[in-house]
Amino acid sequence: MSDRQKTRARPNPRRAFAETYGTVLASGIERRSVLKGFLALTAGAVAMPYLGRTASAAEVSTLTFAELTRVRDREDHWPTGYSRQILARWGDSLFADSPAFDPATLDGKAAERQFGYNNDFTFFMPLPQGSASSEHGLMLVSHEYATPFLMFPGLTADDYREKLTDDQIRAVMASVGLSVFEVKKTNGQWEIVRDGQYNRRIHMGTEMVLSGPAAGDDRLKTKADPTGKTVFGTISNCNGGITPWGTLLSGEEGSMDVFAGDFTTLPNQELVERQGWDEEDNDIYGAGRIEPRFRFEEEPNEWMRFDWVVEIDPLDPTAKPVKRTALGRFTHEGAQCAVAPDGRVVVFMGDDDDFEYLYRFVTRDPWNPTDRAANRDLLDNGTLSLAKFESDGTMRWLPLVAGEGPLTAEAGFATQADVTLNTRAAADLLGATPMDAPEGFVVHPKTGKLYVAMTENEDRLPTGEGDEGEQVNAANPRGPNPHGHLLELVPPGGPDKADFAADSFKWDVFVLCGNPAVAEDGAMFHPATSANGWFTDPDNLSVDPSGRLWVATDGPPPEGIADALFVMDTEGEGRALPKLFYVAPIGSECCSPTFTPDGKTVFISIQHPGELRFEDDEDAASIADAGTSWPDFKQGQPARPALIVLSRDDSAVVGS
């Protein structure tokens, strides 16, 4: 979700948190002080001569492309010697029978056959599955949210709720969710294979299964589903991950915006309390007008059937997606998978709100590499835990298990269903480390290290103010933190036998974002970072086949640049030395860079182009107001979120 959208939709949930759990938290977390050595390092980095006499970027970085200049534009920008292609735009045909895109007549039936809106998670899966094809594959894409007044002509942010037609609402409900479709490279150009056997759209009406500890719980039963095990639709599909057996995990991140009505009248207020809801900003699609289940008073349990991790089998278009409740219920950003040396699968997840937590799920059983079907329900059994960072450079994973520690029946956690339905409240009791809005989480396949992006947290307080959970800590060392940072987590076992399931890891700050030339930013990058290479607001993280780390930002970006994509080495002399690779059109973020196995092609999702006005970076309120109409640039027509492809004209590896 764009940071702007998030701010509108979800005010700081910390308010309720502080009132309800502040006392518990204050007694549960030891008093920390920011590491003196760490501060010295930060100050040292800032004090270093900008592009000083230390080695130059050209001397130490493995990246040789000509770095872009910071730019803020209606168009996108990429390096010299590269070509950019638009592969799929909102409304493009995914099937042989898809109707042509026309926002003036778009309805639900048409949208179900087209590429959806606001593509976020993106993954290139070679075909056949398990092969290393770099010219043929499946694109797995999530469509996080929709902004009706930027999609249909004649609407504004103020009047769209009244003016939306039923057909338009149905179109919106079909334009979010996920797309799976075949792509192929022919004569150097990528194209959608419109009759691909796996092509599929998933949306707010797709039938799904609820599985795991909360499935069948009374609080998940509705009039349409007395079993509590069947759900229609998925909402707010943010980032995700891929399991070792080739299924897609999609994080539902904050579905409450879609519901209408007064949530203060809902039963189970103990579950409502930690949602961070804002009454003014719900019902953003008008879905309750079409389907009563999206009105709180009609179906008081429907909302709890969202904000899970959904598993989708891209190789079986008839398979129902499954919401895996064992992985907890919160504002799921992504779900990055790794395999422990004993074969158990580990899923790393961030809860993207200020002062929320980093989570991990470890399966009970090892995965089966030779029988794909044997892994079908692997994610239903295992241990959910969350991260507590210590100031000595160690961190521990604290298990969230009903009946263990403070998770007692008296505290409201008699069963694992209680824990997974109210994960944030259970997490509060364990005294884990509240983070600065954790988003991207990536496992480096060559080193076994993990990188985590904290986007920002303006409400983080300096030491001595507020309660301890709100104050700076070693892993979130700046208060306020308007620029974000990246942490590096190191499991024991080394690169070849990294034990992602171990109880204890080591950790370090990888970069502190901001402008290294501005002392008060307190930024920490490699001293040779150029005036174009530093960034703020890191969101999605990827590692390419060469082992370089790619960071996509989700602003508001600093003055003079739109959100952008940066790339850097993680090891060697060029460690933490980012270079500016791609700049998105104004108002958009670039999400989920994903690579062909040969590293020669990168696919990038461009989400919410034009969401800001060009004049002043304020929220655009209509198509006419939008900062860009990228990529079509047709007068009076909407900007279109799109999936782009970048490759080098000399066919060498991207980024090198």
Beta carbon nearer to ligand FEO, 240 or 479? 240
Could you tell me the smallest distance in angstroms from the CB atom of residue 358 to ligand FEO?
13
Chosen from ligand FEO, Ca ion, none, partner binding at 307 (C-beta under 5 to 8 Å by type): none
Question: Which range touches Ca ion (CB under 5 A), out of 152-160, 240-248, 452-460, 496-504?
Answer: 452-460
456 lines the binding site for Ca ion (CB under 5 A): yes
Could you tell me the smallest distance in angstroms from the CB atom of residue 482 to ligand FEO?
17
**Cα–Cα distances in angstroms (integers) from residue 411 to residues 403, 537, 640, in the given order:** 10, 36, 48
Could you tell me the smallest distance in angstroms from the CB atom of residue 530 to ligand FEO?
28
Question: Which range touches Ca ion (CB under 5 A), out of 96-104, 406-414, 549-557, 631-639?
Answer: 549-557
Could you tell me the smallest distance in angstroms from the CB atom of residue 540 to ligand FEO?
8
Question: Which range touches Ca ion (CB under 5 A), out of 102-110, 160-168, 172-180, 431-439?
Answer: 431-439
Question: Which range touches Ca ion (CB under 5 A), out of 52-60, 222-230, 390-398, 536-544?
Answer: 536-544
**Cα–Cα distances in angstroms (integers) from residue 343 to residues 364, 447, 499, 629, in the given order:** 10, 18, 10, 48
**Cα–Cα distances in angstroms (integers) from residue 459 to residues 346, 541, 563, in the given order:** 31, 24, 22
Beta carbon nearer to ligand FEO, 6 or 579? 6
Could you tell me the smallest distance in angstroms from the CB atom of residue 475 to ligand FEO?
19
Question: Which range touches Ca ion (CB under 5 A), out of 133-141, 153-161, 214-222, 533-541?
Answer: 533-541
DSSP run (H or E) holding 88: strand 82-89
**CA pair distance 45, 20, nearest whole angstrom:** 40
Could you tell me the smallest distance in angstroms from the CB atom of residue 247 to ligand FEO?
20
Beta carbon nearer to ligand FEO, 70 or 143? 143
Residue from 539, 563, 611, 617 touching Ca ion (CB under 5 A): that is: 539
Chosen from ligand FEO, Ca ion, none, partner binding at 544 (C-beta under 5 to 8 Å by type): none
**Cα–Cα distances in angstroms (integers) from residue 214 to residues 25, 140, 269, 403, in the given order:** 26, 27, 17, 16
Instruction: Kindly give, in sequence order, each residue whose CB lies less than 8 Å from that of residue 193, ignoring residues fewer than 6 positions away.
Output: 181, 182, 183, 184, 199
Chosen from Ca ion, ligand FEO, none, partner binding at 144 (C-beta under 5 to 8 Å by type): ligand FEO
Beta carbon nearer to Ca ion, 238 or 339? 238
Could you tell me the smallest distance in angstroms from the CB atom of residue 236 to ligand FEO?
7
The SS3 of residue 310 is: strand
Residue closest to ligand FEO (Cβ): 238
Structure tokens at 510: 């990888």
Could you tell me the smallest distance in angstroms from the CB atom of residue 628 to ligand FEO?
21
Beta carbon nearer to ligand FEO, 78 or 277? 277
Beta carbon nearer to ligand FEO, 515 or 540? 540
Chosen from Ca ion, ligand FEO, none, partner binding at 182 (C-beta under 5 to 8 Å by type): none
Chosen from Ca ion, ligand FEO, none, partner binding at 76 (C-beta under 5 to 8 Å by type): none
Residue from 428, 439, 611, 625 touching Ca ion (CB under 5 A): that is: 439
Query: Using CB under 6 A as the criterion, which residues of the chain lie in contact with ligand FEO when the complex forms?
Result: 1, 120, 144, 238, 253, 333, 352, 439
Number of amino acids touching Ca ion (CB under 5 A): 6
Q: Which residues pair with 142 in a beta bridge?
A: 178
Chosen from Ca ion, ligand FEO, none, partner binding at 315 (C-beta under 5 to 8 Å by type): none
Chosen from ligand FEO, Ca ion, none, partner binding at 537 (C-beta under 5 to 8 Å by type): Ca ion
Instruction: Kindly give, in sequence order, each residue whose CB lies less than 8 Å from that of residue 303, ignoring residues fewer than 6 positions away.
Output: 255, 256, 259, 263, 266, 296
3 lines the binding site for Ca ion (CB under 5 A): yes
Phi, psi angle pair for 201, to nearest 5°? -115, 140
Phi, psi angle pair for 497, to nearest 5°? -130, 40
Q: Do 201 and 110 meet the contact criterion of CB atoms below 8 Å apart?
A: no
The SS3 of residue 304 is: helix
Question: Which range touches Ca ion (CB under 5 A), out of 18-26, 365-373, 432-440, 488-496?
Answer: 432-440
Question: Which amino acid, residue 579?
Answer: K
Chosen from ligand FEO, Ca ion, none, partner binding at 253 (C-beta under 5 to 8 Å by type): ligand FEO
Could you tell me the smallest distance in angstroms from the CB atom of residue 352 to ligand FEO?
4
**Cα–Cα distances in angstroms (integers) from residue 296 to residues 19, 165, 226, 301, 568, in the given order:** 25, 22, 17, 8, 47
Question: Which range touches Ca ion (CB under 5 A), out of 63-71, 211-219, 261-269, 529-537?
Answer: 529-537
Report angle CA 227, 229, 230 to the nearest 5 degrees.
105
**Cα–Cα distances in angstroms (integers) from residue 109 to residues 95, 208, 285, 312, 497, in the given order:** 13, 19, 17, 22, 49
Could you tell me the smallest distance in angstroms from the CB atom of residue 627 to Ca ion?
17
Structure tokens at 573: 């002399």
Q: Which residues pair with 564 in a beta bridge?
A: 583
Q: Which residues pair with 77 in a beta bridge?
A: 583
Chosen from Ca ion, ligand FEO, none, partner binding at 217 (C-beta under 5 to 8 Å by type): none
Q: Which of 409, 404, 398 is nearest to 431 (CA)?
A: 398
144 lines the binding site for Ca ion (CB under 5 A): no
Gap between the terminal Cα atoms of the chain: 30
**CA pair distance 610, 588, nearest whole angstrom:** 6
Residue from 76, 112, 499, 554 touching Ca ion (CB under 5 A): that is: 554
Beta carbon nearer to Ca ion, 220 or 549? 549
CA 1 from chain centre, in angstroms, equals 7
CA dihedral of residues 141, 142, 147, 151 (deg, nearest 10): 30
Q: Which residues bind Ca ion (CB under 5 A)?
A: 3, 439, 456, 537, 539, 554
